[in-house]
Structure 1
Amino acid sequence: MKISARNVFEGKIIDIGKGATTSHVFLDVKGLHFTAAITNEAVEELDLKVGGTASAVIKSSEVMIAVK
């Protein structure tokens, strides 16, 4: 697969929290944790399972950081 995003991080799926329509997929990438909210249908189509590998693909026009 070719993709324009340059921020691709491969890791291990550590948890999948399934809701009514949306799942939260938790990915461990060398000790950093990423969370993606995707449809339950996508979880099934991609055959995502805890312990499996997947990649976090990040394409964003901005990243915001705030402090109190």
Structure 2
Amino acid sequence: MTIKAINVRNQFQGTIKRIRRGDVVSEVEVDIGSGLITSIITTGSIDELGLRPGSQVIALFKSTEVALASFAPS
């Protein structure tokens, strides 16, 4: 299957730096050039997508809310 188009506008292309495999879920670090994005995905998805360090990926974000907190002045 090939993706023709996608409605997710928040996209960051990057390279997988590290994968920490777990039995059920794994942590994937993606270097996007200006920093790292960490994603938690199923270990089965890592295998199905053929992901490994050095793989080129696109991190896609779709969220209805982003919460921020600030520290009280000292």
Q: TM-score, normalised by structure 2?
A: 0.86
Q: 1:18 aligns with which of 21, 31, 51?
A: 21
Identity %: 35
Name the one with the larger strand percent. 1
Runs of 5+ consecutive residues of structure 1 not aligned to the other structure: none
Q: Indicate the structure (1 or 2) with the bigger Cα radius of gyration.
A: 2
Structure 2: segments with no counterpart, 5+ residues? none
TM-score, L = length of structure 1: 0.92
Alignment-derived partner of residue 55 in structure 2? 52
Counting only pairs closer than 5 Å after superposition, residues 20-39 of structure 1 correspond to structure 2 as 20-39=23-42
Aligned alpha-carbon RMSD (Å): 0.9
Following TM superposition, the consecutive aligned residue runs of length 4 or more in structure 1 with deviations greater than 2 angstroms are none
Matching residue of 1:40:
43
